[in-house]
Structure 1
Amino acid sequence: MRVREVRTDRLGAVSGEVWVDLTRHPYVEGETAWVPVREGFAFDREIPERHAYAGRGYFMLGDVAVVRGDRPAEKEVAGIVRFRHPRGVLWIESLDGVTRTPVTEILWGSAGEVCHREEGYTYYLDPGRVMFAQGNRDEKMRMARLVRESPAGARVADMFAGIGYFAIPMAGSGAKVHAMEINPVACAYLERNIAANGLAGRVQVSCGDCRVHLSGTYDRVVMGHFDAVTMLPAVFSHVHGRSVIHVHSIGDVSGTIQDLAEGAGFSPSINVHKVKKYRPHEWHIVQDVTLS
């Protein structure tokens, strides 16, 4: 297939050009789109004809294909390689311990550090060493939207910041973010990503146990960890009567949150928000807890 290289932000501008082959779809890779070219017009390169992918689920972090769940068969890995041509295919078996360190295996090619772009932000990470919350994309953007809809300069605590996938979009939307992370490798990437996105003046980083580093009073608290409810008591001395706490969990724990908040002297209003299916019959839930 003959194609021209076009930045994705110019796809709309070139869609009506006479050289565009409208019978085929562009192939998008990061911020680059390879737009099919009609016969007789100049082109930049030829790429293999692409067909709809119907194989094992995966996602791209930079130029590395990442697979979760059961270990994929060799033919499934080969299918990903043929379709996406990644630098490598990395299987993440699980996340280990309080630092959420990935247990991984490189199934094809090589892995290591990548540069990943998402919603206009840049993230450096090594997916073999640190967690990236790829499946929470809509939730990350929801947090950014809530910040934009809040009073300017709101102070936000991100208690399990990782490499910055919540902290950076919130800071980019106008919040003053206190980002805490216990994994030293992730914390180093967090600091690097804050600088890469030009947000050094909007994000304060604390490396270590978030329960120790909480300080002052926050307008919003993001608790992006499935065991968040067990750490909720540490939060109540750092919020006020209009603060909002976003408590992540597997399954609905709003009853426990209600009891803990009332025990701390607050009257909570809890809205349960489904993020994604975690496993059969279980959901990744976020409880939006508005205090009064």
Structure 2
Amino acid sequence: MAFKQKLANVTGLKPSLIPSSYQILGDIMLLKVPNATQAEKNKIARGAMLLLPYVRSVCEIKEVKGELRQPAVKLIAGERTETIHTENNVKYHLDVSKIMFSKGNLNERQRLIKKIKKDETIVDMFAGIGYFSLPIAKHTKAKKIVAIEKNLDAFRFLKNNIQLNNLTNVQTIWGDCKDFAKSVTNFADRIIMGYFPDTEEFLPYAVRIAKNNAIVHFHNIYSAKDLWKKPLKQIEEACSQQSCGFEVLEKKKVKSYKPGVFHVVVDFKIIKE
């Protein structure tokens, strides 16, 4: 029997009120229940914890908003919103009420790990709590990862997660990646731009940071009708501003963001000579 039906049976609620999907981070369940009353939400949360005893808290997530990608989360049942989530042998300590975490990006994190070469210097322009930086440091022979994060809450968890995973090759910077880019040039072998929307605004800074033949992993969201013309034009314009060329290596959809809109990534090489 599907979990949705089991939850409907336990709570006595109509299946239409029960969410079809949910996400579990560590021992916290995140779900969307837009059509339920508070009393019904309480029943759903208690029922979920009864069916899944390892779940210690249930939270309602409404949206992720703003430049700093902060989630709108409300605790329905349980006592806390902090947890430690383990993925691919990497531990992520986070507070789900302050920090977003997309398990839908797991395949992208694994794909990126396979591309890292020995002794690379990598800049993670939007590091968050270490979504990409931690698994790269844990599972590759990269020489150095510079992890930049503007959100102070995320930055604190990033610092803690580096210690939690016993990593020694990650340098952290609290601040705007644009400021870092203004202070260096021809610095990185690989640049990760794991942020959206409006990531194209940061492309000229990524190009500046890049060494000749550096690889950039450019993430953004686009409507289906704009693929792949729009992202490639944005890359071309950024490279033109910095008087360099580029070569597209790979482009792929990471996941559906909403109907007709996709989170995508374009891997491209910077050519400066």
Q: Find 1:133's aligned residue among 102, 115, 134.
A: 102
Q: Find 1:243's aligned residue among 214, 239, 243.
A: 214
CA 119–135 in structure 1, closer or farther in 2 if over 3 Å, else same: same
SS of aligned partner of 1:265: coil
Larger RCO: 1 or 2 (CA < 8 Å, sep 6+): 2
CA 220–72 in structure 1, closer or farther in 2 if over 3 Å, else same: farther
Shift of 1:83: 3.1
Shift of 1:191: 0.6
Output aligned runs, 1:83-98, within 5 Å. Answer: 83-85=51-53, 86-98=55-67
2:174 match: 207
SS of aligned partner of 1:242: strand
Counterpart contact for 2:216–2:268, Cα < 8 Å: yes
Q: Deviations over 1:65-104 (max 9, x none)?
A: 0125x63633654553343232111122122322222211
Q: Find 1:146's aligned residue among 115, 129, 135.
A: 115
CA distance, structure 1, for counterparts of residue 106 and residue 94 of structure 2: 16
Counterpart contact for 2:75–2:81, Cα < 8 Å: no
Output aligned runs, 1:99-138, within 5 Å. Answer: 99-138=68-107
CA distance, structure 2, for counterparts of residue 134 and residue 198 of structure 1: 23
1:71 partner letter: P
Counterpart contact for 1:132–1:162, Cα < 8 Å: no
SS of aligned partner of 1:140: helix
CA distance, structure 2, for counterparts of residue 268 and residue 106 of structure 1: 46
CA distance, structure 2, for counterparts of residue 72 and residue 221 of structure 1: 42
Answer yes or no: is 1:285 the counterpart of 2:264: yes
Overall identity of the aligned pairs, in %: 32
Shift of 1:131: 1.7
Higher Rg of the two aligned structures? 1
Shift of 1:197: 0.8
Output aligned runs, 1:1-292, within 5 Å. Answer: 51-54=1-4, 56-68=20-32, 71=34, 73=36, 74=40, 77=45, 80-85=48-53, 86-147=55-116, 150=117, 152-172=118-138, 173-175=140-142, 176-199=144-167, 201-214=168-181, 215-216=184-185, 217-226=187-196, 227-251=198-222, 252=227, 253-270=231-248, 271-292=250-271
SS of aligned partner of 2:200: helix
**Unaligned runs of at least 5 residues, structure 1:** 1-50
CA distance, structure 1, for counterparts of residue 257 and residue 239 of structure 2: 26
CA distance, structure 1, for counterparts of residue 194 and residue 25 of structure 2: 20
1:4 match: none
Shift of 1:240: 2.0
CA distance, structure 1, for counterparts of residue 22 and residue 194 of structure 2: 22
**Unaligned runs of at least 5 residues, structure 2:** 5-18
Counterpart contact for 2:207–2:238, Cα < 8 Å: no
Q: If the length of structure 1 is used for normalisation, what is the TM-score?
A: 0.76
Q: If the length of structure 2 is used for normalisation, what is the TM-score?
A: 0.81
Deviating more after overlay: 77-86 vs 270-279: 77-86
Across the aligned residues of Structure 1 and Structure 2, the Cα RMSD in angstroms comes to: 1.8
